[in-house]
Every structure is written in C-alpha cells, then in structure tokens.
C-alpha cells in the first residue's frame, strides 16, 4: 500500500515493524492533522504516517482510538500503546517530551499569550472554511480580514521573522495549515480571493519565509491541489487518494 493511500472500511490494520517509532493516523488534507506533521518534522522525530478515509473509517481504527478522529498519535513505546487525540494536546505533549527543538517561549507569560493567539485563530477557522467549502459562499471576507488583522499587527509589533522569533514556533505551526490553504481561494471558481497585499504586508512576508521552512516544505501542497481536494469535498465525494492516484499515474508514464 502506497504511503498516501487512505485506509478504508474493508482494510486490515497495517503491520509495522516493532521499531518503537511513533505512528500518526492522519488524513492527507486535514489541517488539524497537518499541525502534528509540522511539529514532528520540525523536531526531526521519526514517525510512520497512516492515512485514514474519514468517510469510510476502518473498524480497526475506530476501535483503537477513543474518538475515532484524526490526528491520532499511537505511542508504541508506552505500555498498552496509548493513543493521543486532539491536535493541540498532541503538539504540546510532543514539545514536552521532545525538548530538543523547543517550540514555545520559555517565559510562561509569553507562552500563555501564544496559546491565546492559537485559541483565537480557532475562532475564525470557521470563517475560512465557509469560504473554502461553501458551494455558494456568502463572501463575508470582512470577518476573515478582521481576524487576520490581529496576527498582522501582532507580528509587526514583535518585529521578528516569525511569531516564534528567528525560527517558527508553536504559534507559527498551529496557524500555518489554514494559511497554506488561503492560496486555494484564488484557484476556486466561486471565490477567487487573494489576501490584500497592502493590509497584510507582514503576514505575506511571513508566508514566504514559512514556505522556506524545512517542516513546512516536507508536508506542503500548493493552492491548486488544495482547491482540487476542497472541490471534491464540496461535491460530496472527498478525493482522499488524489495524490496517491497521481503518483501511480506518474509511475506508469
């Protein structure tokens, strides 16, 4: 099975070598799972990716996780192979247990302030998804722009390349999956939206810098690909295996 093929109802659980390597249950286009890929890659933690078809979940996956949601991280070195869920809980756990590339500020106040900005970003994820997924989107860009103003002003005030300073930190990685997907908006027939280059000077510079980051690069998809997936999802038939089939076709040619 190719690594980007998504496991489905009739599949059998993949057998991995007893190598002690973390197993991440994911979906290739899920922004929440994307967060965990970024943190694992930023910290150079080896892991197996196991992709799940969310519209036809395998029984073995439903049984092994308390919520049957992705991302789910199986800790094979711990007794009983516990499975962690919830993207922010998983990322905080990884930062605590793998301190080599620390992603939070060491000052508890600064850490709390970054966590607030991560939580607040969640509040307008809904606005972004409305734009990306609605068939006939009510183009309420005002809500999206007002949300992004917070981050534009914050980053300008910090005066660093990244929210995390000279290199991306937890806040950068936790908001990145949705920022990467903004690029899908202009490929979308219904919206064709781009971020205002005057209003978001700092954030757009940040986006270019993020695109050079090793962890971002290793799980990156361009706007056209994201738009294609969104369009399949809007049509009620999420094309989870889009990349898998494309890779197979490329091998045949």
Which range, of 46-54, 55-63, 106-114, 174-182, touches a second copy by CB under 8 A?
106-114
Decide: 85 and 65 in contact? Cβ < 8 Å.
yes
CB of residue 162 to a second copy, shortest distance in Å: 21
Q: Work out the angle between the directed axes of helices 170-185 and 108-133 (0-180°, nearest 10).
A: 20
Could you say which of 43, 48, 115, 187 contacts a second copy (CB under 8 A)? Answer: 115
CA distance 182 to 191: 11
Residue 91 annotated in active site: no
CB nearer to a second copy: pick between 78 and 224: 78
Handedness of CA 209, 226, 172, 199 (dihedral sign): positive
CB of residue 243 to a second copy, shortest distance in Å: 30
CA distance 148 to 167: 21
Which structure tokens are listed for 73?
Answer: 């991280």
Could you say which of 116, 126, 133, 146 contacts a second copy (CB under 8 A)? Answer: 116
By the rule CB under 8 A, 84 interacts with a second copy: yes
By the rule CB under 8 A, 62 interacts with a second copy: no
Q: In which element (H, E) is residue 37 found? A: helix 31-42
Apex CA 11: angle with CA 6 and CA 12, to 5°?
A: 120
By the rule CB under 8 A, 146 interacts with a second copy: no
CA distance 248 to 244: 6
CB of residue 102 to a second copy, shortest distance in Å: 14
CB nearer to a second copy: pick between 112 and 126: 112
Query: Site residues (CB under 8 A) for a second copy?
Result: 66-67, 75, 78, 82, 84-86, 89-90, 92-93, 96-97, 108-109, 111-113, 115-116, 119-120, 150
Q: What amino acid positions are annotated as catalytic residues?
A: 30
């Amino acid at each position: 099975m190719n690594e980007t093929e998504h496991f489905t109802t009739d599949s059998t659980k993949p057998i991995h070598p007893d190598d002690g390597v973390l197993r991440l249950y994911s979906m290739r286009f899920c922004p929440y799972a994307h967060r965990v890929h970024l943190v694992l890659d930023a910290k150079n933690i080896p892991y197996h990716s196991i992709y799940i078809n969310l519209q036809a979940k395998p029984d073995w996956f439903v049984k092994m996780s308390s919520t049957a949601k992705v991302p789910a991280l199986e800790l094979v070195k711990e007794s009983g192979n516990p499975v962690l869920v919830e993207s922010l809980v998983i990322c905080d756990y990884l930062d605590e247990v793998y301190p080599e590339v620390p992603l939070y500020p060491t000052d508890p106040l600064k850490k709390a302030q970054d966590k607030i900005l991560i939580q607040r970003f969640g509040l307008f994820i809904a606005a972004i998804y409305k734009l990306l997924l609605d068939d006939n989107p009510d183009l309420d860009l005002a809500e999206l722009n007002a949300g992004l103003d917070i981050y534009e002003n914050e980053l300008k005030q910090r005066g660093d390349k990244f929210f995390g300073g000279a290199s991306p930190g937890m806040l950068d990685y936790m908001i990145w999956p949705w920022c990467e997907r903004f690029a899908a908006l202009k490929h979308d027939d219904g919206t064709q939206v781009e971020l205002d280059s005057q209003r978001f000077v700092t954030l757009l510079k940040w986006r270019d810098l993020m695109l050079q980051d090793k962890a971002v690069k290793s799980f990156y998809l361009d706007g056209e690909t994201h738009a294609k997936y969104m369009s399949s999802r809007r049509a009620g038939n999420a094309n989870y295996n889009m990349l898998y089939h494309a890779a197979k076709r490329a091998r045949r040619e």
